[in-house]
Amino acid sequence: MTWRYRFIFAIFLFFFGLIIIRLFYWQVVKAQELSVLAEYQYSGIVKMLPNRGEIQTSDDFPIAANKVSYLVFVNPKAIKDKRNITNEISPIINVDKASISAFLSFDKVWVSLKSGIDDKTKKSIEALNFTGIGFEQQSSRFYPEASLAAHLLGFVGKNEAGGDKGYFGLEGYYDRLLRGKEGYAVQIQDALGRPILSRMSGNLVKVDGSSIKLSIDRSIQFLAEQKLKEGIEMYGASGGMVGIMDPKTGGMLAMASFPSFTPQDYQKYSEDLYKNPFITNTYEPGSTFKPMVMSAALEEGLVKPDTKCPACNGPVSVGGYDLHTWNDKYYKDTNMIDVIKHSDNTGMVFVAQKLGVDKMIDYLTKFGIGSLTNIDLQGEVSPSLKARNAWYAVDLATTGFGQGISVTPIGLLDAFSAIANGGKRVEPHVVSQVQSPDGKISKILPKTVDTPISGKTAKIMTEMLVNAVNNGEASWARLKGYRIAGKTGTASIPVKGHYDPTKTITSFIGFAPANDPKFVMLVILDKPTTSIYGAETAAPVFFDIAKDLLLYYGVPPSE
Protein backbone atom coordinates (compact mmCIF):
# COMPACT_ATOMS: atom_id res chain seq x y z
CA MET A 1 0.00 0.00 0.00
CA THR A 2 2.75 2.45 0.92
CA TRP A 3 4.19 2.38 -2.57
CA ARG A 4 0.83 3.65 -3.98
CA TYR A 5 0.93 6.72 -1.75
CA ARG A 6 4.52 7.35 -2.76
CA PHE A 7 3.65 6.98 -6.44
CA ILE A 8 0.70 9.43 -6.25
CA PHE A 9 2.87 11.84 -4.26
CA ALA A 10 5.56 11.63 -6.92
CA ILE A 11 3.03 12.38 -9.69
CA PHE A 12 1.73 15.46 -7.78
CA LEU A 13 5.27 16.55 -7.17
CA PHE A 14 6.09 16.15 -10.84
CA PHE A 15 3.13 18.28 -11.97
CA PHE A 16 3.82 20.92 -9.33
CA GLY A 17 7.41 21.00 -10.58
CA LEU A 18 6.19 21.52 -14.13
CA ILE A 19 3.95 24.40 -13.02
CA ILE A 20 6.78 26.00 -11.07
CA ILE A 21 9.15 25.68 -14.02
CA ARG A 22 6.50 27.26 -16.30
CA LEU A 23 5.87 30.08 -13.82
CA PHE A 24 9.61 30.64 -13.56
CA TYR A 25 9.78 30.83 -17.37
CA TRP A 26 6.99 33.44 -17.71
CA GLN A 27 7.78 35.50 -14.62
CA VAL A 28 11.56 35.54 -14.76
CA VAL A 29 12.86 34.52 -18.17
CA LYS A 30 10.15 36.29 -20.23
CA ALA A 31 9.53 39.09 -17.73
CA GLN A 32 11.26 41.81 -19.74
CA GLU A 33 9.54 40.96 -22.99
CA LEU A 34 6.09 40.79 -21.42
CA SER A 35 6.69 44.05 -19.60
CA VAL A 36 7.48 45.80 -22.89
CA LEU A 37 4.38 44.29 -24.52
CA ALA A 38 2.25 45.49 -21.65
CA GLU A 39 3.71 48.97 -21.94
CA TYR A 40 2.79 49.12 -25.61
CA GLN A 41 -0.70 47.99 -24.78
CA TYR A 42 -1.39 50.11 -21.75
CA SER A 43 0.84 53.12 -22.13
CA GLY A 44 2.08 55.54 -24.74
CA ILE A 45 5.05 57.87 -25.00
CA VAL A 46 3.86 61.43 -25.46
CA LYS A 47 6.34 63.98 -26.76
CA MET A 48 6.07 67.26 -24.85
CA LEU A 49 7.13 70.15 -27.04
CA PRO A 50 8.65 73.06 -25.11
CA ASN A 51 7.39 76.63 -25.47
CA ARG A 52 9.90 78.82 -27.29
CA GLY A 53 11.11 81.72 -25.14
CA GLU A 54 9.89 85.24 -25.84
CA ILE A 55 11.97 88.16 -27.07
CA GLN A 56 10.97 91.35 -25.25
CA THR A 57 11.91 94.97 -25.73
CA SER A 58 13.04 97.09 -22.80
CA ASP A 59 9.41 97.87 -21.88
CA ASP A 60 8.69 94.12 -21.45
CA PHE A 61 6.62 93.99 -24.65
CA PRO A 62 7.15 90.68 -26.46
CA ILE A 63 8.08 91.44 -30.06
CA ALA A 64 8.52 87.72 -30.65
CA ALA A 65 5.98 85.50 -28.88
CA ASN A 66 4.12 82.23 -29.42
CA LYS A 67 0.61 81.72 -30.65
CA VAL A 68 -1.77 78.81 -30.96
CA SER A 69 -1.89 77.24 -34.38
CA TYR A 70 -3.20 73.96 -35.70
CA LEU A 71 -2.25 71.19 -38.01
CA VAL A 72 -5.28 69.97 -39.94
CA PHE A 73 -5.22 66.28 -40.80
CA VAL A 74 -7.66 63.89 -42.48
CA ASN A 75 -8.45 60.21 -42.26
CA PRO A 76 -8.94 59.35 -45.97
CA LYS A 77 -10.55 56.02 -45.06
CA ALA A 78 -13.29 57.76 -43.08
CA ILE A 79 -14.16 60.27 -45.78
CA LYS A 80 -17.01 59.42 -48.12
CA ASP A 81 -17.57 62.55 -50.19
CA LYS A 82 -14.00 63.43 -51.19
CA ARG A 83 -14.97 65.85 -53.96
CA ASN A 84 -17.20 67.96 -51.74
CA ILE A 85 -14.57 68.19 -49.00
CA THR A 86 -11.89 69.17 -51.52
CA ASN A 87 -14.06 71.96 -52.95
CA GLU A 88 -15.01 73.31 -49.50
CA ILE A 89 -11.65 73.10 -47.79
CA SER A 90 -9.35 74.26 -50.56
CA PRO A 91 -10.23 78.00 -50.40
CA ILE A 92 -10.23 77.99 -46.59
CA ILE A 93 -6.73 76.59 -46.07
CA ASN A 94 -5.36 77.99 -49.34
CA VAL A 95 -4.15 74.68 -50.74
CA ASP A 96 -4.92 73.82 -54.36
CA LYS A 97 -7.62 71.23 -55.05
CA ALA A 98 -5.27 68.86 -56.86
CA SER A 99 -3.04 68.55 -53.77
CA ILE A 100 -5.98 67.96 -51.43
CA SER A 101 -7.43 65.40 -53.80
CA ALA A 102 -4.09 63.59 -53.85
CA PHE A 103 -3.91 63.57 -50.02
CA LEU A 104 -7.43 62.17 -49.77
CA SER A 105 -6.57 59.29 -52.06
CA PHE A 106 -3.78 57.96 -49.78
CA ASP A 107 -4.35 54.55 -48.25
CA LYS A 108 -3.67 55.82 -44.73
CA VAL A 109 -5.59 56.75 -41.60
CA TRP A 110 -3.71 59.99 -40.91
CA VAL A 111 -2.60 62.48 -43.56
CA SER A 112 -1.52 66.04 -42.81
CA LEU A 113 -3.14 68.70 -45.02
CA LYS A 114 -1.57 71.87 -43.68
CA SER A 115 0.11 73.11 -40.53
CA GLY A 116 0.21 76.55 -38.95
CA ILE A 117 -3.44 77.48 -39.49
CA ASP A 118 -4.98 79.96 -37.07
CA ASP A 119 -7.98 79.59 -34.78
CA LYS A 120 -10.34 81.42 -37.14
CA THR A 121 -9.51 79.07 -40.03
CA LYS A 122 -9.95 76.08 -37.72
CA LYS A 123 -13.42 77.26 -36.70
CA SER A 124 -14.34 77.76 -40.38
CA ILE A 125 -13.39 74.14 -41.12
CA GLU A 126 -15.20 72.85 -38.02
CA ALA A 127 -18.33 74.70 -39.12
CA LEU A 128 -18.42 72.49 -42.24
CA ASN A 129 -19.08 69.50 -39.96
CA PHE A 130 -17.22 66.94 -42.04
CA THR A 131 -16.22 63.64 -40.47
CA GLY A 132 -12.69 62.40 -40.91
CA ILE A 133 -11.07 65.80 -40.32
CA GLY A 134 -9.12 66.51 -37.15
CA PHE A 135 -6.80 69.12 -35.66
CA GLU A 136 -3.58 68.92 -33.74
CA GLN A 137 -2.68 71.89 -31.63
CA GLN A 138 0.74 73.41 -32.27
CA SER A 139 2.61 76.47 -31.24
CA SER A 140 4.04 78.83 -33.82
CA ARG A 141 6.08 82.00 -33.70
CA PHE A 142 4.25 85.27 -33.76
CA TYR A 143 5.53 88.82 -34.23
CA PRO A 144 2.97 91.36 -32.93
CA GLU A 145 4.87 94.32 -34.34
CA ALA A 146 4.96 92.80 -37.84
CA SER A 147 8.15 93.98 -39.57
CA LEU A 148 9.47 96.12 -36.70
CA ALA A 149 13.12 95.25 -36.01
CA ALA A 150 12.93 92.42 -38.56
CA HIS A 151 16.68 92.31 -39.17
CA LEU A 152 17.36 92.31 -35.45
CA LEU A 153 14.93 89.48 -34.78
CA GLY A 154 15.61 87.12 -37.67
CA PHE A 155 12.92 84.45 -38.00
CA VAL A 156 12.01 80.89 -37.01
CA GLY A 157 12.07 78.33 -39.78
CA LYS A 158 12.42 74.54 -39.86
CA ASN A 159 15.48 72.33 -39.49
CA GLU A 160 16.17 69.06 -41.36
CA ALA A 161 14.05 67.09 -38.87
CA GLY A 162 11.08 69.46 -39.31
CA GLY A 163 11.53 71.06 -35.88
CA ASP A 164 11.64 74.80 -35.23
CA LYS A 165 14.97 76.55 -35.63
CA GLY A 166 15.94 80.21 -35.49
CA TYR A 167 17.81 81.82 -38.37
CA PHE A 168 19.62 85.16 -38.49
CA GLY A 169 19.45 87.91 -35.90
CA LEU A 170 18.48 87.08 -32.33
CA GLU A 171 16.38 84.02 -33.23
CA GLY A 172 19.50 82.52 -34.78
CA TYR A 173 22.12 83.68 -32.28
CA TYR A 174 20.10 82.67 -29.22
CA ASP A 175 18.34 79.67 -30.78
CA ARG A 176 19.59 77.15 -28.22
CA LEU A 177 18.54 79.35 -25.33
CA LEU A 178 15.15 80.15 -26.78
CA ARG A 179 14.06 76.70 -27.96
CA GLY A 180 14.27 74.78 -24.66
CA LYS A 181 14.30 70.98 -24.46
CA GLU A 182 11.71 68.37 -25.46
CA GLY A 183 10.30 66.12 -22.78
CA TYR A 184 8.68 62.72 -22.88
CA ALA A 185 5.73 61.63 -20.77
CA VAL A 186 4.60 58.08 -20.13
CA GLN A 187 0.84 57.85 -20.17
CA ILE A 188 -0.91 54.71 -18.85
CA GLN A 189 -4.35 53.94 -20.30
CA ASP A 190 -7.21 51.63 -19.38
CA ALA A 191 -8.73 49.06 -21.74
CA LEU A 192 -10.77 51.79 -23.44
CA GLY A 193 -7.75 54.00 -23.99
CA ARG A 194 -8.61 56.53 -21.30
CA PRO A 195 -5.65 57.85 -19.28
CA ILE A 196 -5.28 56.54 -15.74
CA LEU A 197 -2.01 58.08 -14.73
CA SER A 198 0.59 60.20 -16.44
CA ARG A 199 4.14 60.80 -15.31
CA MET A 200 7.17 62.50 -16.77
CA SER A 201 10.18 60.35 -17.41
CA GLY A 202 12.83 61.49 -14.91
CA ASN A 203 15.65 62.25 -17.31
CA LEU A 204 13.53 63.68 -20.09
CA VAL A 205 11.50 66.45 -18.46
CA LYS A 206 10.32 69.20 -20.78
CA VAL A 207 12.16 72.47 -20.29
CA ASP A 208 10.64 75.60 -21.82
CA GLY A 209 12.96 78.05 -23.56
CA SER A 210 14.42 81.03 -21.75
CA SER A 211 13.15 84.49 -22.60
CA ILE A 212 15.41 87.38 -23.49
CA LYS A 213 14.90 91.05 -22.80
CA LEU A 214 16.52 93.54 -25.14
CA SER A 215 18.03 96.93 -24.60
CA ILE A 216 16.03 97.95 -27.67
CA ASP A 217 13.47 100.63 -26.87
CA ARG A 218 10.32 99.86 -28.85
CA SER A 219 9.35 103.52 -29.23
CA ILE A 220 12.81 104.54 -30.42
CA GLN A 221 12.90 101.59 -32.84
CA PHE A 222 9.50 102.60 -34.24
CA LEU A 223 10.58 106.23 -34.51
CA ALA A 224 13.87 105.33 -36.23
CA GLU A 225 12.12 103.11 -38.78
CA GLN A 226 9.49 105.74 -39.57
CA LYS A 227 12.02 108.53 -40.02
CA LEU A 228 14.40 106.35 -42.02
CA LYS A 229 11.61 105.30 -44.37
CA GLU A 230 10.60 108.94 -44.85
CA GLY A 231 14.23 109.91 -45.47
CA ILE A 232 14.76 107.18 -48.05
CA GLU A 233 11.64 108.29 -49.92
CA MET A 234 12.47 111.99 -49.66
CA TYR A 235 16.04 111.68 -50.89
CA GLY A 236 15.41 108.95 -53.45
CA ALA A 237 17.84 106.48 -51.86
CA SER A 238 17.89 102.77 -52.67
CA GLY A 239 18.14 101.87 -49.01
CA GLY A 240 19.26 103.06 -45.63
CA MET A 241 20.25 102.16 -42.09
CA VAL A 242 20.03 103.68 -38.65
CA GLY A 243 21.78 102.45 -35.53
CA ILE A 244 21.28 104.06 -32.13
CA MET A 245 23.29 103.02 -29.11
CA ASP A 246 23.78 104.01 -25.49
CA PRO A 247 27.51 104.85 -25.51
CA LYS A 248 27.93 104.17 -21.78
CA THR A 249 26.54 100.63 -21.71
CA GLY A 250 26.80 99.54 -25.35
CA GLY A 251 23.09 98.69 -25.28
CA MET A 252 21.54 99.10 -28.72
CA LEU A 253 18.45 101.31 -28.52
CA ALA A 254 17.41 100.81 -32.14
CA MET A 255 18.68 99.22 -35.32
CA ALA A 256 16.73 99.71 -38.53
CA SER A 257 17.46 98.88 -42.15
CA PHE A 258 15.51 99.14 -45.38
CA PRO A 259 14.68 97.27 -47.54
CA SER A 260 13.43 94.84 -44.95
CA PHE A 261 11.10 91.84 -44.59
CA THR A 262 8.37 90.53 -42.29
CA PRO A 263 9.59 87.66 -40.07
CA GLN A 264 6.11 86.09 -40.02
CA ASP A 265 6.15 85.61 -43.80
CA TYR A 266 9.87 85.35 -44.40
CA GLN A 267 9.34 82.81 -47.22
CA LYS A 268 7.77 85.52 -49.38
CA TYR A 269 10.97 87.57 -49.43
CA SER A 270 14.29 87.15 -51.17
CA GLU A 271 17.01 85.50 -49.07
CA ASP A 272 19.22 88.55 -49.67
CA LEU A 273 16.99 90.54 -47.34
CA TYR A 274 17.46 88.23 -44.33
CA LYS A 275 20.95 89.45 -43.50
CA ASN A 276 21.20 92.48 -41.24
CA PRO A 277 23.18 94.99 -43.35
CA PHE A 278 24.12 96.99 -40.25
CA ILE A 279 26.40 94.13 -39.21
CA THR A 280 27.09 92.39 -42.52
CA ASN A 281 27.56 95.15 -45.09
CA THR A 282 30.94 96.78 -45.46
CA TYR A 283 31.54 100.18 -46.98
CA GLU A 284 34.14 102.92 -47.07
CA PRO A 285 32.97 105.31 -44.34
CA GLY A 286 34.34 108.55 -45.76
CA SER A 287 34.41 111.62 -43.55
CA THR A 288 32.64 109.97 -40.61
CA PHE A 289 35.98 108.22 -40.07
CA LYS A 290 37.89 111.47 -39.59
CA PRO A 291 37.11 111.91 -35.85
CA MET A 292 38.88 108.62 -35.04
CA VAL A 293 42.02 109.55 -36.96
CA MET A 294 42.04 113.09 -35.52
CA SER A 295 41.51 111.70 -31.97
CA ALA A 296 44.49 109.40 -32.43
CA ALA A 297 46.74 112.29 -33.49
CA LEU A 298 45.48 114.47 -30.61
CA GLU A 299 46.06 111.65 -28.14
CA GLU A 300 49.63 111.21 -29.35
CA GLY A 301 50.23 114.95 -29.05
CA LEU A 302 51.21 115.07 -32.73
CA VAL A 303 48.66 117.80 -33.36
CA LYS A 304 46.70 120.21 -31.22
CA PRO A 305 43.38 121.87 -32.07
CA ASP A 306 45.18 125.03 -33.18
CA THR A 307 47.94 123.25 -35.15
CA LYS A 308 48.08 124.69 -38.64
CA CYS A 309 48.20 122.52 -41.74
CA PRO A 310 51.15 123.69 -43.89
CA ALA A 311 50.03 121.92 -47.09
CA CYS A 312 46.31 122.50 -47.29
CA ASN A 313 46.14 125.29 -49.85
CA GLY A 314 45.54 122.91 -52.74
CA PRO A 315 45.24 119.23 -53.76
CA VAL A 316 47.85 116.96 -52.20
CA SER A 317 49.86 114.59 -54.33
CA VAL A 318 50.64 111.24 -52.68
CA GLY A 319 52.12 108.23 -54.44
CA GLY A 320 51.18 109.57 -57.87
CA TYR A 321 47.57 110.35 -56.87
CA ASP A 322 46.09 113.83 -56.49
CA LEU A 323 43.86 114.02 -53.44
CA HIS A 324 41.19 116.73 -53.42
CA THR A 325 38.70 118.07 -50.91
CA TRP A 326 35.06 117.10 -51.43
CA ASN A 327 34.15 120.53 -52.82
CA ASP A 328 37.57 121.53 -54.20
CA LYS A 329 37.78 124.40 -51.68
CA TYR A 330 41.09 124.84 -49.91
CA TYR A 331 41.97 126.85 -46.82
CA LYS A 332 45.53 128.02 -46.39
CA ASP A 333 46.93 127.55 -42.86
CA THR A 334 43.73 125.90 -41.73
CA ASN A 335 43.79 124.55 -38.14
CA MET A 336 42.56 121.17 -36.94
CA ILE A 337 39.24 122.57 -35.70
CA ASP A 338 38.51 123.87 -39.18
CA VAL A 339 39.77 120.68 -40.82
CA ILE A 340 36.92 118.86 -39.07
CA LYS A 341 34.47 121.73 -39.62
CA HIS A 342 35.15 121.91 -43.37
CA SER A 343 35.67 118.12 -43.63
CA ASP A 344 38.99 118.95 -45.26
CA ASN A 345 40.56 115.84 -46.88
CA THR A 346 43.94 117.52 -47.36
CA GLY A 347 44.02 118.41 -43.67
CA MET A 348 43.32 114.80 -42.77
CA VAL A 349 46.11 113.63 -45.09
CA PHE A 350 48.43 115.89 -43.08
CA VAL A 351 47.16 114.35 -39.81
CA ALA A 352 47.45 110.78 -41.12
CA GLN A 353 51.02 111.39 -42.31
CA LYS A 354 51.88 112.80 -38.89
CA LEU A 355 50.53 109.60 -37.31
CA GLY A 356 52.40 107.24 -39.59
CA VAL A 357 51.40 103.71 -40.54
CA ASP A 358 52.38 102.00 -37.28
CA LYS A 359 50.46 104.37 -35.03
CA MET A 360 47.56 104.43 -37.49
CA ILE A 361 47.26 100.61 -37.35
CA ASP A 362 47.67 100.67 -33.58
CA TYR A 363 44.88 103.18 -33.02
CA LEU A 364 42.57 101.63 -35.57
CA THR A 365 42.96 98.34 -33.71
CA LYS A 366 42.19 100.06 -30.41
CA PHE A 367 39.10 101.58 -31.96
CA GLY A 368 38.07 98.06 -33.01
CA ILE A 369 38.49 98.57 -36.74
CA GLY A 370 39.40 95.28 -38.40
CA SER A 371 37.84 93.17 -35.62
CA LEU A 372 34.38 91.94 -34.83
CA THR A 373 32.50 93.99 -32.27
CA ASN A 374 31.06 90.70 -30.89
CA ILE A 375 27.56 92.07 -30.87
CA ASP A 376 25.13 89.27 -29.99
CA LEU A 377 23.59 88.91 -33.44
CA GLN A 378 24.14 86.18 -35.98
CA GLY A 379 26.06 87.04 -39.11
CA GLU A 380 28.44 89.83 -38.11
CA VAL A 381 31.42 90.28 -40.41
CA SER A 382 34.51 92.40 -40.14
CA PRO A 383 36.88 93.28 -42.96
CA SER A 384 40.47 92.86 -41.80
CA LEU A 385 42.98 95.64 -41.73
CA LYS A 386 45.71 95.43 -44.32
CA ALA A 387 48.93 93.84 -43.09
CA ARG A 388 51.65 96.34 -42.16
CA ASN A 389 53.78 95.57 -45.19
CA ALA A 390 50.83 96.10 -47.56
CA TRP A 391 50.37 99.78 -46.65
CA TYR A 392 51.51 102.28 -49.27
CA ALA A 393 51.76 106.01 -48.73
CA VAL A 394 48.49 106.61 -50.57
CA ASP A 395 46.71 104.06 -48.31
CA LEU A 396 47.81 105.99 -45.23
CA ALA A 397 46.65 109.23 -46.81
CA THR A 398 43.24 107.97 -47.92
CA THR A 399 42.60 106.19 -44.62
CA GLY A 400 42.94 109.61 -43.03
CA PHE A 401 39.70 110.67 -44.67
CA GLY A 402 37.94 107.32 -44.56
CA GLN A 403 38.46 106.00 -48.07
CA GLY A 404 40.47 102.91 -49.01
CA ILE A 405 39.38 101.30 -45.73
CA SER A 406 36.24 99.22 -45.14
CA VAL A 407 34.11 99.04 -42.03
CA THR A 408 30.70 97.76 -41.05
CA PRO A 409 28.19 100.32 -39.73
CA ILE A 410 28.24 98.65 -36.29
CA GLY A 411 32.03 98.77 -36.25
CA LEU A 412 32.02 102.49 -37.04
CA LEU A 413 29.30 103.25 -34.48
CA ASP A 414 31.17 101.32 -31.80
CA ALA A 415 34.47 103.06 -32.58
CA PHE A 416 32.85 106.52 -32.57
CA SER A 417 31.03 105.79 -29.31
CA ALA A 418 34.43 105.85 -27.55
CA ILE A 419 34.52 109.62 -28.13
CA ALA A 420 31.05 109.93 -26.56
CA ASN A 421 32.05 107.76 -23.59
CA GLY A 422 35.10 109.56 -22.29
CA GLY A 423 37.50 107.57 -24.46
CA LYS A 424 36.22 104.11 -23.48
CA ARG A 425 34.94 101.74 -26.13
CA VAL A 426 32.26 99.34 -24.91
CA GLU A 427 31.07 96.10 -26.48
CA PRO A 428 27.73 96.61 -28.22
CA HIS A 429 24.92 94.24 -27.31
CA VAL A 430 21.24 93.86 -28.00
CA VAL A 431 20.22 91.62 -25.09
CA SER A 432 20.22 93.14 -21.62
CA GLN A 433 18.97 90.14 -19.63
CA VAL A 434 18.03 86.50 -19.91
CA GLN A 435 15.15 85.01 -17.92
CA SER A 436 15.05 81.25 -17.45
CA PRO A 437 11.67 79.42 -17.27
CA ASP A 438 11.98 79.13 -13.49
CA GLY A 439 12.24 82.93 -13.22
CA LYS A 440 15.99 83.27 -12.67
CA ILE A 441 17.28 86.49 -14.27
CA SER A 442 20.81 86.88 -15.60
CA LYS A 443 21.77 90.43 -16.50
CA ILE A 444 24.30 91.18 -19.21
CA LEU A 445 26.61 93.84 -17.86
CA PRO A 446 28.37 96.52 -19.91
CA LYS A 447 31.86 95.51 -20.97
CA THR A 448 34.62 98.01 -21.68
CA VAL A 449 36.71 96.53 -24.44
CA ASP A 450 39.43 99.14 -24.83
CA THR A 451 40.34 102.74 -24.07
CA PRO A 452 41.76 104.12 -27.33
CA ILE A 453 41.88 107.74 -26.13
CA SER A 454 41.91 109.57 -22.82
CA GLY A 455 38.95 111.47 -21.37
CA LYS A 456 40.74 114.76 -22.11
CA THR A 457 41.18 113.92 -25.81
CA ALA A 458 37.54 112.76 -25.96
CA LYS A 459 36.42 116.16 -24.61
CA ILE A 460 38.56 118.07 -27.11
CA MET A 461 37.24 115.93 -29.98
CA THR A 462 33.66 116.42 -28.72
CA GLU A 463 34.06 120.21 -28.86
CA MET A 464 35.48 120.01 -32.36
CA LEU A 465 32.48 117.92 -33.42
CA VAL A 466 30.01 120.33 -31.77
CA ASN A 467 31.70 123.12 -33.69
CA ALA A 468 31.38 121.07 -36.91
CA VAL A 469 27.63 120.69 -36.33
CA ASN A 470 27.12 124.36 -35.46
CA ASN A 471 29.30 125.84 -38.20
CA GLY A 472 29.92 123.11 -40.77
CA GLU A 473 28.07 122.27 -43.97
CA ALA A 474 25.24 120.52 -42.06
CA SER A 475 24.61 123.50 -39.77
CA TRP A 476 21.46 124.38 -41.74
CA ALA A 477 19.79 121.19 -40.47
CA ARG A 478 21.00 121.29 -36.86
CA LEU A 479 18.74 121.51 -33.82
CA LYS A 480 19.00 124.98 -32.36
CA GLY A 481 19.43 125.15 -28.64
CA TYR A 482 21.12 121.76 -28.30
CA ARG A 483 24.78 120.86 -28.18
CA ILE A 484 25.10 117.96 -30.59
CA ALA A 485 28.44 116.51 -31.63
CA GLY A 486 28.52 115.04 -35.10
CA LYS A 487 30.17 114.56 -38.45
CA THR A 488 28.84 114.25 -41.98
CA GLY A 489 30.09 111.61 -44.39
CA THR A 490 29.99 111.39 -48.16
CA ALA A 491 31.76 108.26 -49.32
CA SER A 492 32.39 107.42 -52.93
CA ILE A 493 31.54 103.88 -53.97
CA PRO A 494 34.40 101.91 -55.54
CA VAL A 495 33.39 100.40 -58.88
CA LYS A 496 35.85 98.26 -60.86
CA GLY A 497 39.04 99.98 -59.65
CA HIS A 498 37.77 103.57 -59.60
CA TYR A 499 35.21 105.63 -57.72
CA ASP A 500 31.78 106.33 -59.21
CA PRO A 501 31.40 110.14 -59.20
CA THR A 502 27.60 110.06 -59.34
CA LYS A 503 26.79 107.59 -56.59
CA THR A 504 27.69 107.89 -52.92
CA ILE A 505 26.89 106.44 -49.53
CA THR A 506 25.95 109.39 -47.37
CA SER A 507 26.03 109.28 -43.61
CA PHE A 508 25.92 111.27 -40.44
CA ILE A 509 27.27 110.13 -37.10
CA GLY A 510 26.82 111.97 -33.82
CA PHE A 511 25.79 111.95 -30.19
CA ALA A 512 23.69 114.17 -27.94
CA PRO A 513 23.63 115.93 -25.59
CA ALA A 514 27.35 116.55 -26.10
CA ASN A 515 28.14 116.95 -22.39
CA ASP A 516 26.33 113.82 -21.22
CA PRO A 517 25.33 111.73 -24.21
CA LYS A 518 22.13 109.75 -23.98
CA PHE A 519 22.64 108.20 -27.40
CA VAL A 520 25.08 107.89 -30.27
CA MET A 521 23.55 107.46 -33.68
CA LEU A 522 24.66 106.59 -37.21
CA VAL A 523 22.43 107.27 -40.20
CA ILE A 524 23.39 105.89 -43.62
CA LEU A 525 21.60 106.43 -46.92
CA ASP A 526 22.56 104.28 -49.87
CA LYS A 527 22.89 106.15 -53.19
CA PRO A 528 20.51 109.05 -52.59
CA THR A 529 19.51 110.70 -55.85
CA THR A 530 18.40 114.19 -54.78
CA SER A 531 21.93 115.01 -53.62
CA ILE A 532 25.15 113.03 -53.25
CA TYR A 533 26.20 114.80 -50.03
CA GLY A 534 25.72 113.66 -46.48
CA ALA A 535 25.04 117.20 -45.28
CA GLU A 536 21.97 117.38 -47.50
CA THR A 537 20.56 113.88 -47.02
CA ALA A 538 21.71 111.85 -44.02
CA ALA A 539 22.21 114.88 -41.75
CA PRO A 540 18.57 116.06 -41.88
CA VAL A 541 17.40 112.50 -41.14
CA PHE A 542 19.77 112.37 -38.17
CA PHE A 543 18.52 115.65 -36.74
CA ASP A 544 14.91 114.70 -37.38
CA ILE A 545 15.35 111.58 -35.27
CA ALA A 546 17.51 113.40 -32.69
CA LYS A 547 14.81 116.05 -32.21
CA ASP A 548 12.26 113.41 -31.18
CA LEU A 549 14.79 111.44 -29.18
CA LEU A 550 15.77 114.44 -27.07
CA LEU A 551 12.10 115.13 -26.44
CA TYR A 552 11.56 111.46 -25.54
CA TYR A 553 14.40 111.64 -23.02
CA GLY A 554 13.10 114.92 -21.64
CA VAL A 555 16.31 116.79 -22.42
CA PRO A 556 15.70 120.56 -22.45
CA PRO A 557 17.74 122.86 -24.70
CA SER A 558 20.96 123.95 -23.07
CA GLU A 559 21.53 127.10 -25.11
Partner 1 sequence: MKRFKLLITFLVLVIVFLSIVQVVVSNRLSTTGPLFSKIEEETNFYKRENLLLSERLLTSSSLNNIALKAEALGFIEGKTKFIVTASLPLALRQ
Q: Which residues bind partner 1 (CB under 8 A)?
A: 61-62, 65-68, 119, 137, 139, 142, 144-146, 148, 189-190, 194-198, 218-219, 222, 547, 551, 556-557
DSSP state for residue 238 in the 8-state scheme: S
| C-beta closer to partner 1: residue 104 or 484 | 484
CA nearest 413: which of 277, 260, 288? 288
- Spatial neighbors of 441 by CB under 8 A, at least 6 apart, are 433, 434, 435
CB of 146 to partner 1, least distance (A): 5
| C-beta closer to partner 1: residue 8 or 196 | 196
- Spatial neighbors of 57 by CB under 8 A, at least 6 apart, are 63, 213, 214, 216, 217, 218, 221
CB of 46 to partner 1, least distance (A): 11
CB of 170 to partner 1, least distance (A): 18
| C-beta closer to partner 1: residue 118 or 300 | 118
CB of 72 to partner 1, least distance (A): 16
CB of 522 to partner 1, least distance (A): 23
Q: CA-CA distance, 376 to 55, in Å (whole number)?
A: 14
> What is the H or E stretch that residue 186 is in?
strand 183-189
> What is the H or E stretch that residue 176 is in?
helix 175-179
Give just the sign of the alpha carbon dihedral 353, 354, 359, 363. Answer: negative
Q: CA-CA distance, 97 to 86, in Å (whole number)?
A: 6
The one-letter code for the residue type at 180 is G
CB of 528 to partner 1, least distance (A): 23
Write the secondary structure of 34-94 as one string of H (helix), E (strand) and C (coil).
HHHHHHHHHEEEEEECCCCCCEECCCCCEEEEEEEEEEEEECHHHCCCHHHHHHHHHHHHC
Diameter of the chain measured on Cα atoms: 144
CB of 140 to partner 1, least distance (A): 11
CB of 248 to partner 1, least distance (A): 25
Chain-centroid distance, C-alpha 226: 19
DSSP state for residue 510 in the 8-state scheme: E
Q: CA-CA distance, 154 to 170, in Å (whole number)?
A: 6
The one-letter code for the residue type at 259 is P
| C-beta closer to partner 1: residue 17 or 144 | 144
Whether the upstream peptide bond of residue 285 has omega within 30° of 0, thus cis, is no
CA nearest 487: which of 257, 287, 264, 235? 287
CB of 252 to partner 1, least distance (A): 18
- Spatial neighbors of 199 by CB under 8 A, at least 6 apart, are 185, 186
CB of 472 to partner 1, least distance (A): 24
CB of 122 to partner 1, least distance (A): 11
Q: CA-CA distance, 209 to 121, in Å (whole number)?
A: 28
| C-beta closer to partner 1: residue 359 or 547 | 547
| C-beta closer to partner 1: residue 171 or 376 | 171
| C-beta closer to partner 1: residue 320 or 554 | 554
| C-beta closer to partner 1: residue 218 or 341 | 218
Which DSSP string corresponds to 539-558?
HHHHHHHHHHHHHHTTPPP-
461 in Cβ contact with 469 (< 8 Å): no
CB of 127 to partner 1, least distance (A): 17
Ramachandran category for residue 146: left, alpha or beta (phi over 0 → left; psi -120 to 50 → alpha) = left
CB of 38 to partner 1, least distance (A): 16
- Spatial neighbors of 27 by CB under 8 A, at least 6 apart, are none
CB of 194 to partner 1, least distance (A): 4
Q: CA-CA distance, 256 to 241, in Å (whole number)?
A: 6
Report, in this order, helix, strand and coil percent for the chain, each rounded to 5.
40, 25, 35
